[in-house]
Protein backbone atom coordinates (compact mmCIF):
# COMPACT_ATOMS: atom_id res chain seq x y z
CA UNK A 1 0.00 0.00 0.00
CA UNK A 2 2.66 2.45 -0.98
CA UNK A 3 0.03 4.93 -2.19
CA UNK A 4 -1.52 5.07 1.31
CA UNK A 5 1.82 5.58 2.96
CA UNK A 6 2.67 8.48 0.73
CA UNK A 7 0.02 10.58 2.54
CA UNK A 8 2.07 10.59 5.75
CA UNK A 9 5.23 12.35 6.68
CA UNK A 10 7.87 10.82 8.93
CA UNK A 11 7.58 7.78 11.17
CA UNK A 12 4.10 6.26 11.38
CA UNK A 13 2.63 2.92 12.41
CA UNK A 14 3.48 0.35 9.77
CA UNK A 15 0.51 -0.36 7.55
CA UNK A 16 0.16 -4.05 6.76
CA UNK A 17 1.16 -4.96 3.26
CA UNK A 18 -1.73 -5.86 1.04
CA UNK A 19 -0.17 -9.06 -0.43
CA UNK A 20 -2.12 -8.70 -3.59
CA UNK A 21 0.57 -10.38 -5.64
CA UNK A 22 1.27 -13.61 -3.85
CA UNK A 23 -0.42 -16.02 -1.52
CA UNK A 24 0.54 -15.73 2.15
CA UNK A 25 -0.66 -17.73 5.15
CA UNK A 26 -3.17 -14.99 5.97
CA UNK A 27 -5.12 -15.81 2.82
CA UNK A 28 -6.19 -19.01 4.58
CA UNK A 29 -7.21 -17.30 7.83
CA UNK A 30 -10.92 -17.26 7.05
CA UNK A 31 -10.92 -13.53 7.70
CA UNK A 32 -10.89 -10.52 5.44
CA UNK A 33 -7.92 -11.61 3.38
CA UNK A 34 -9.69 -14.89 2.57
CA UNK A 35 -12.86 -13.05 1.63
CA UNK A 36 -11.00 -10.57 -0.52
CA UNK A 37 -9.19 -13.36 -2.30
CA UNK A 38 -12.39 -15.33 -2.93
CA UNK A 39 -14.18 -12.22 -4.14
CA UNK A 40 -11.32 -10.98 -6.26
CA UNK A 41 -10.22 -14.22 -7.84
CA UNK A 42 -13.18 -16.59 -7.83
CA UNK A 43 -16.46 -14.67 -7.65
CA UNK A 44 -15.43 -12.38 -10.47
CA UNK A 45 -14.91 -15.37 -12.76
CA UNK A 46 -17.08 -18.26 -11.57
CA UNK A 47 -20.10 -16.08 -11.00
CA UNK A 48 -23.58 -17.60 -10.54
CA UNK A 49 -26.43 -16.97 -8.07
CA UNK A 50 -25.73 -20.08 -5.97
CA UNK A 51 -22.08 -19.18 -5.49
CA UNK A 52 -22.67 -15.47 -4.97
CA UNK A 53 -25.25 -16.21 -2.26
CA UNK A 54 -22.22 -16.81 -0.04
CA UNK A 55 -23.75 -19.51 2.14
CA UNK A 56 -21.97 -22.55 3.53
CA UNK A 57 -23.90 -24.78 1.15
CA UNK A 58 -25.31 -23.96 -2.24
CA UNK A 59 -29.01 -24.65 -2.72
CA UNK A 60 -29.78 -25.64 -6.25
CA UNK A 61 -32.75 -25.82 -8.53
CA UNK A 62 -33.40 -29.14 -10.21
CA UNK A 63 -33.06 -29.05 -13.98
CA UNK A 64 -36.27 -28.56 -15.98
CA UNK A 65 -37.91 -31.92 -16.58
CA UNK A 66 -36.17 -33.69 -13.72
CA UNK A 67 -39.37 -34.05 -11.69
CA UNK A 68 -37.65 -36.45 -9.28
CA UNK A 69 -37.29 -39.03 -12.04
CA UNK A 70 -33.98 -40.68 -12.72
CA UNK A 71 -30.99 -40.69 -10.36
CA UNK A 72 -28.23 -38.41 -9.19
CA UNK A 73 -24.56 -39.06 -9.91
CA UNK A 74 -21.86 -37.59 -7.67
CA UNK A 75 -18.11 -37.77 -7.93
CA UNK A 76 -15.02 -36.09 -6.50
CA UNK A 77 -11.47 -35.89 -7.71
CA UNK A 78 -8.31 -34.15 -6.46
CA UNK A 79 -6.02 -32.67 -9.04
CA UNK A 80 -2.27 -32.31 -8.75
CA UNK A 81 -0.14 -31.65 -11.79
CA UNK A 82 3.34 -30.33 -12.35
CA UNK A 83 3.74 -27.97 -14.14
CA UNK A 84 0.46 -26.15 -13.42
CA UNK A 85 0.34 -24.96 -17.04
CA UNK A 86 1.20 -27.37 -19.84
CA UNK A 87 0.67 -27.43 -23.62
CA UNK A 88 -3.05 -27.84 -24.24
CA UNK A 89 -4.25 -27.13 -20.73
CA UNK A 90 -3.65 -26.32 -17.09
CA UNK A 91 -4.69 -27.54 -13.64
CA UNK A 92 -7.92 -25.52 -13.82
CA UNK A 93 -9.11 -27.07 -17.06
CA UNK A 94 -8.02 -30.44 -15.70
CA UNK A 95 -9.93 -29.98 -12.44
CA UNK A 96 -13.19 -29.12 -14.22
CA UNK A 97 -12.82 -31.68 -17.03
CA UNK A 98 -11.74 -34.49 -14.71
CA UNK A 99 -14.81 -34.30 -12.53
CA UNK A 100 -17.22 -33.52 -15.39
CA UNK A 101 -15.90 -36.65 -17.12
CA UNK A 102 -16.21 -38.82 -14.02
CA UNK A 103 -19.83 -37.69 -13.67
CA UNK A 104 -20.86 -37.92 -17.30
CA UNK A 105 -19.33 -41.36 -17.93
CA UNK A 106 -22.03 -42.65 -15.57
CA UNK A 107 -24.52 -41.45 -18.18
CA UNK A 108 -25.33 -38.36 -16.13
CA UNK A 109 -25.78 -34.85 -17.41
CA UNK A 110 -23.30 -32.91 -15.25
CA UNK A 111 -24.87 -29.88 -13.58
CA UNK A 112 -22.92 -28.44 -10.66
CA UNK A 113 -19.36 -28.54 -9.38
CA UNK A 114 -17.66 -27.53 -6.16
CA UNK A 115 -14.02 -26.57 -6.00
CA UNK A 116 -11.62 -26.78 -3.04
CA UNK A 117 -8.25 -25.06 -3.35
CA UNK A 118 -5.11 -25.81 -1.36
CA UNK A 119 -2.68 -22.95 -2.01
CA UNK A 120 0.98 -22.94 -1.15
CA UNK A 121 2.30 -19.80 0.47
CA UNK A 122 4.11 -17.75 -2.16
CA UNK A 123 1.88 -18.72 -5.07
CA UNK A 124 1.48 -15.67 -7.33
CA UNK A 125 -2.12 -14.42 -7.28
CA UNK A 126 -1.82 -13.91 -11.02
CA UNK A 127 -1.32 -17.69 -11.38
CA UNK A 128 -4.45 -18.33 -9.36
CA UNK A 129 -6.37 -15.86 -11.52
CA UNK A 130 -5.30 -17.61 -14.70
CA UNK A 131 -6.34 -20.95 -13.26
CA UNK A 132 -9.71 -19.58 -12.12
CA UNK A 133 -10.30 -18.10 -15.58
CA UNK A 134 -9.47 -21.42 -17.18
CA UNK A 135 -11.93 -23.15 -14.83
CA UNK A 136 -14.60 -20.63 -15.78
CA UNK A 137 -13.96 -21.15 -19.49
CA UNK A 138 -13.99 -24.93 -19.19
CA UNK A 139 -17.13 -24.89 -17.02
CA UNK A 140 -18.85 -22.75 -19.66
CA UNK A 141 -17.72 -25.18 -22.37
CA UNK A 142 -19.18 -28.08 -20.37
CA UNK A 143 -22.35 -26.19 -19.41
CA UNK A 144 -21.82 -26.63 -15.66
CA UNK A 145 -21.66 -24.14 -12.80
CA UNK A 146 -19.15 -24.04 -9.94
CA UNK A 147 -21.54 -23.36 -7.07
CA UNK A 148 -19.45 -23.78 -3.92
CA UNK A 149 -15.82 -23.62 -2.99
CA UNK A 150 -13.21 -23.56 -0.27
CA UNK A 151 -9.72 -22.14 0.05
CA UNK A 152 -6.94 -23.20 2.39
CA UNK A 153 -3.34 -22.00 2.51
CA UNK A 154 -0.40 -24.15 3.63
CA UNK A 155 3.15 -23.12 4.46
CA UNK A 156 5.77 -22.85 1.77
CA UNK A 157 7.11 -26.31 0.95
CA UNK A 158 3.99 -28.15 2.16
CA UNK A 159 2.33 -28.27 -1.27
CA UNK A 160 3.34 -27.98 -4.90
CA UNK A 161 1.92 -24.53 -5.69
CA UNK A 162 -1.73 -25.38 -6.03
CA UNK A 163 -3.93 -28.42 -5.53
CA UNK A 164 -7.58 -28.42 -6.57
CA UNK A 165 -10.31 -30.78 -5.48
CA UNK A 166 -13.53 -30.69 -7.43
CA UNK A 167 -16.76 -32.54 -6.78
CA UNK A 168 -19.59 -32.77 -9.26
CA UNK A 169 -23.28 -33.62 -9.34
CA UNK A 170 -25.18 -34.78 -12.37
CA UNK A 171 -28.61 -36.06 -13.26
CA UNK A 172 -29.12 -39.45 -14.87
CA UNK A 173 -32.41 -39.46 -16.78
CA UNK A 174 -34.78 -42.32 -15.94
CA UNK A 175 -34.17 -45.46 -17.97
CA UNK A 176 -30.50 -44.77 -18.68
CA UNK A 177 -28.33 -47.67 -17.46
CA UNK A 178 -24.59 -47.26 -17.95
CA UNK A 179 -21.89 -48.87 -15.82
CA UNK A 180 -18.62 -50.76 -15.85
CA UNK A 181 -20.45 -53.99 -14.92
CA UNK A 182 -22.69 -53.96 -18.00
CA UNK A 183 -20.30 -55.04 -20.80
CA UNK A 184 -21.64 -58.16 -22.56
CA UNK A 185 -19.96 -60.64 -24.92
CA UNK A 186 -20.46 -59.41 -28.47
CA UNK A 187 -20.31 -55.72 -27.52
CA UNK A 188 -18.05 -53.45 -29.53
CA UNK A 189 -15.32 -51.29 -27.96
CA UNK A 190 -15.04 -47.77 -29.41
CA UNK A 191 -12.31 -45.22 -28.69
CA UNK A 192 -12.79 -41.51 -29.42
CA UNK A 193 -9.27 -40.74 -30.69
CA UNK A 194 -5.49 -41.11 -30.30
CA UNK A 195 -4.17 -42.08 -26.88
CA UNK A 196 -1.30 -40.86 -24.72
CA UNK A 197 -1.41 -37.13 -25.58
CA UNK A 198 -1.97 -35.83 -22.05
CA UNK A 199 0.63 -37.94 -20.28
CA UNK A 200 3.35 -37.24 -22.81
CA UNK A 201 2.51 -33.50 -23.05
CA UNK A 202 2.84 -33.12 -19.26
CA UNK A 203 5.98 -35.27 -19.13
CA UNK A 204 7.62 -33.21 -21.88
CA UNK A 205 6.52 -29.95 -20.23
CA UNK A 206 8.47 -30.88 -17.08
CA UNK A 207 11.58 -30.33 -19.17
CA UNK A 208 13.56 -33.19 -17.57
CA UNK A 209 13.76 -35.26 -20.72
CA UNK A 210 15.54 -32.79 -22.93
CA UNK A 211 12.78 -33.33 -25.47
CA UNK A 212 11.02 -30.63 -27.40
CA UNK A 213 7.64 -31.69 -28.73
CA UNK A 214 4.49 -30.09 -30.08
CA UNK A 215 2.27 -32.58 -28.29
CA UNK A 216 -0.79 -30.94 -26.74
CA UNK A 217 -2.74 -32.42 -23.84
CA UNK A 218 -6.20 -33.64 -24.85
CA UNK A 219 -7.78 -32.38 -21.60
CA UNK A 220 -11.44 -31.59 -22.34
CA UNK A 221 -14.92 -32.11 -20.89
CA UNK A 222 -16.52 -35.10 -22.62
CA UNK A 223 -20.19 -34.51 -21.80
CA UNK A 224 -20.94 -33.02 -25.24
CA UNK A 225 -19.42 -36.02 -27.00
CA UNK A 226 -21.31 -38.40 -24.70
CA UNK A 227 -24.56 -36.53 -25.34
CA UNK A 228 -24.13 -37.07 -29.11
CA UNK A 229 -23.18 -40.70 -28.60
CA UNK A 230 -26.14 -41.54 -26.36
CA UNK A 231 -28.59 -39.88 -28.73
CA UNK A 232 -27.44 -42.30 -31.43
CA UNK A 233 -26.75 -45.34 -29.23
CA UNK A 234 -29.12 -45.14 -26.24
CA UNK A 235 -28.35 -48.70 -25.13
CA UNK A 236 -24.62 -48.03 -24.64
CA UNK A 237 -23.42 -50.32 -21.85
CA UNK A 238 -20.18 -48.77 -20.58
CA UNK A 239 -18.55 -45.33 -20.79
CA UNK A 240 -15.10 -44.62 -19.38
CA UNK A 241 -12.43 -41.97 -19.73
CA UNK A 242 -9.05 -43.73 -19.64
CA UNK A 243 -7.07 -41.39 -17.37
CA UNK A 244 -4.21 -42.54 -15.13
CA UNK A 245 -3.08 -46.06 -16.02
CA UNK A 246 -4.23 -45.49 -19.59
CA UNK A 247 -6.43 -47.53 -21.90
CA UNK A 248 -4.96 -50.83 -20.68
CA UNK A 249 -5.96 -50.19 -17.08
CA UNK A 250 -9.46 -49.02 -18.05
CA UNK A 251 -10.08 -52.18 -20.08
CA UNK A 252 -8.90 -54.34 -17.17
CA UNK A 253 -11.31 -52.58 -14.82
CA UNK A 254 -14.24 -53.22 -17.15
CA UNK A 255 -13.19 -56.88 -17.61
CA UNK A 256 -13.21 -57.46 -13.85
CA UNK A 257 -16.46 -55.54 -13.24
CA UNK A 258 -18.33 -57.29 -16.06
CA UNK A 259 -16.78 -60.79 -15.78
CA UNK A 260 -15.76 -60.76 -19.44
CA UNK A 261 -12.69 -60.56 -21.65
CA UNK A 262 -11.91 -57.30 -23.41
CA UNK A 263 -10.18 -58.05 -26.69
CA UNK A 264 -8.08 -55.20 -28.06
CA UNK A 265 -6.65 -54.99 -31.58
CA UNK A 266 -3.25 -53.29 -31.24
CA UNK A 267 -3.18 -52.21 -34.88
CA UNK A 268 -6.52 -50.39 -34.49
CA UNK A 269 -5.50 -48.20 -31.54
CA UNK A 270 -4.62 -44.71 -32.80
CA UNK A 271 -1.43 -43.13 -31.42
CA UNK A 272 0.03 -39.90 -32.80
CA UNK A 273 3.50 -40.36 -34.34
CA UNK A 274 5.00 -37.79 -31.92
CA UNK A 275 3.58 -39.66 -28.92
CA UNK A 276 4.80 -42.97 -30.29
CA UNK A 277 8.25 -41.52 -30.87
CA UNK A 278 8.56 -40.29 -27.28
CA UNK A 279 7.26 -43.64 -25.99
CA UNK A 280 9.77 -45.56 -28.13
CA UNK A 281 12.62 -43.39 -26.87
CA UNK A 282 11.74 -43.80 -23.21
CA UNK A 283 10.48 -47.37 -23.28
CA UNK A 284 6.87 -46.44 -22.43
CA UNK A 285 3.79 -48.18 -23.76
CA UNK A 286 1.12 -45.70 -24.97
CA UNK A 287 -1.55 -48.10 -23.71
CA UNK A 288 -0.55 -47.11 -20.16
CA UNK A 289 -0.22 -43.35 -20.68
CA UNK A 290 -2.85 -41.03 -19.19
CA UNK A 291 -5.53 -39.33 -21.26
CA UNK A 292 -7.83 -36.55 -20.05
CA UNK A 293 -10.14 -36.10 -23.01
CA UNK A 294 -10.68 -39.53 -24.52
CA UNK A 295 -13.73 -41.74 -24.29
CA UNK A 296 -14.04 -45.51 -24.30
CA UNK A 297 -17.56 -46.69 -25.16
CA UNK A 298 -18.77 -50.29 -24.99
CA UNK A 299 -21.88 -50.53 -27.12
CA UNK A 300 -24.12 -53.40 -28.27
CA UNK A 301 -23.25 -54.50 -31.83
CA UNK A 302 -26.57 -53.35 -33.30
CA UNK A 303 -25.86 -49.75 -32.23
CA UNK A 304 -22.12 -49.77 -33.03
CA UNK A 305 -22.31 -48.11 -36.44
CA UNK A 306 -24.62 -45.36 -35.23
CA UNK A 307 -22.45 -44.81 -32.16
CA UNK A 308 -19.27 -44.52 -34.22
CA UNK A 309 -20.89 -42.12 -36.68
CA UNK A 310 -22.20 -39.96 -33.82
CA UNK A 311 -18.77 -39.84 -32.15
CA UNK A 312 -17.10 -38.91 -35.42
CA UNK A 313 -19.55 -36.07 -35.98
CA UNK A 314 -18.38 -34.42 -32.72
CA UNK A 315 -15.11 -32.43 -32.72
CA UNK A 316 -13.75 -34.43 -29.77
CA UNK A 317 -14.47 -37.73 -31.49
CA UNK A 318 -13.64 -37.08 -35.13
CA UNK A 319 -10.92 -39.75 -35.03
CA UNK A 320 -13.10 -42.33 -33.25
CA UNK A 321 -12.50 -45.98 -34.16
CA UNK A 322 -13.52 -49.46 -33.14
CA UNK A 323 -10.56 -50.91 -31.23
CA UNK A 324 -11.88 -54.24 -30.06
CA UNK A 325 -14.74 -56.32 -28.77
CA UNK A 326 -16.05 -57.99 -25.65
CA UNK A 327 -15.69 -61.77 -25.44
CA UNK A 328 -16.88 -64.38 -22.96
CA UNK A 329 -14.01 -65.46 -20.71
CA UNK A 330 -14.14 -66.69 -17.14
CA UNK A 331 -10.64 -65.22 -16.59
CA UNK A 332 -11.91 -61.58 -16.61
CA UNK A 333 -8.94 -59.98 -18.34
CA UNK A 334 -7.91 -57.83 -21.25
CA UNK A 335 -6.14 -59.52 -24.15
CA UNK A 336 -4.12 -57.77 -26.82
CA UNK A 337 -3.99 -59.08 -30.35
CA UNK A 338 -0.59 -57.70 -31.39
CA UNK A 339 0.07 -56.01 -34.72
CA UNK A 340 2.15 -58.96 -35.87
CA UNK A 341 -0.48 -61.54 -34.98
CA UNK A 342 0.43 -62.74 -31.48
CA UNK A 343 -1.89 -62.60 -28.48
CA UNK A 344 -0.92 -61.61 -24.97
CA UNK A 345 -2.28 -60.52 -21.65
CA UNK A 346 -2.77 -56.76 -21.35
CA UNK A 347 -2.17 -56.20 -17.67
CA UNK A 348 -2.90 -53.26 -15.42
CA UNK A 349 -0.09 -50.84 -14.73
CA UNK A 350 1.91 -51.91 -11.67
CA UNK A 351 3.31 -49.03 -9.66
CA UNK A 352 5.04 -46.07 -11.23
CA UNK A 353 5.95 -46.17 -14.91
CA UNK A 354 9.72 -45.88 -15.19
CA UNK A 355 11.85 -45.09 -18.23
CA UNK A 356 14.12 -47.85 -19.42
CA UNK A 357 17.86 -47.80 -18.83
CA UNK A 358 19.27 -48.50 -22.28
Query: Which residues bind to another protein, rule: CB under 8 A?
Result: 208-210, 267, 273, 276-277, 280, 283, 285, 338-345, 347, 350-352, 354-358
Nearer to another protein by C-beta: 15 or 267?
Answer: 267
Residues 6+ apart with CB under 8 A from 92: 130, 131, 132, 133, 134, 135, 138, 164
Q: What is the largest CA-CA distance in the chain?
A: 85
Nearer to another protein by C-beta: 25 or 209?
Answer: 209
Q: Are the beta carbons of 72 and 169 closer than 8 angstroms? A: yes
Q: What is the Cα–Cα distance from 187 to 14, expressed in whole angstroms?
A: 71
Nearer to another protein by C-beta: 18 or 343?
Answer: 343
Q: Are the beta carbons of 162 and 104 closer than 8 angstroms? A: no
DSSP class of residue 22 equals: B
The DSSP element (H or E) to which 202 belongs, if any, is helix 197-205
Q: Minimal distance in Å, beta carbon 354 to another protein?
A: 3
Nearer to another protein by C-beta: 29 or 338?
Answer: 338
SS3 content of the chain, % helix, strand, coil (to 5): 35, 20, 45
Burial of 267 from C-beta contacts in 10 A (0-12 / 13-18 / 19+): exposed
Q: Minimal distance in Å, beta carbon 164 to another protein?
A: 24
Q: Minimal distance in Å, beta carbon 294 to another protein?
A: 21
The tally of CA atoms less than 13 A away on the side-chain side of residue 150 is 11
Nearer to another protein by C-beta: 11 or 340?
Answer: 340
Nearer to another protein by C-beta: 12 or 340?
Answer: 340
Q: Minimal distance in Å, beta carbon 345 to another protein?
A: 5
Q: Minimal distance in Å, beta carbon 255 to another protein?
A: 14
Q: Minimal distance in Å, beta carbon 347 to another protein?
A: 5
Amino acid sequence: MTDTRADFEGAVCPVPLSHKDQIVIGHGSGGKMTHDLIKGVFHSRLSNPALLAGNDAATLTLPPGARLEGRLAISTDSHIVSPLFFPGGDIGRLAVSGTVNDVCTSGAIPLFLTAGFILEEGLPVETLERVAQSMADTAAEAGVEVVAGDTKVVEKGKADGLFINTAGVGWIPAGREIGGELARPGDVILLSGPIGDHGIAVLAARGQLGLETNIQSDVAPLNGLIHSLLAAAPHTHVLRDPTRGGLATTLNEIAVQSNVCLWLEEAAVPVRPEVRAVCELLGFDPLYIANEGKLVAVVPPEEADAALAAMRSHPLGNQAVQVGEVRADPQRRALLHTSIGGTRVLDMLAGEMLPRIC
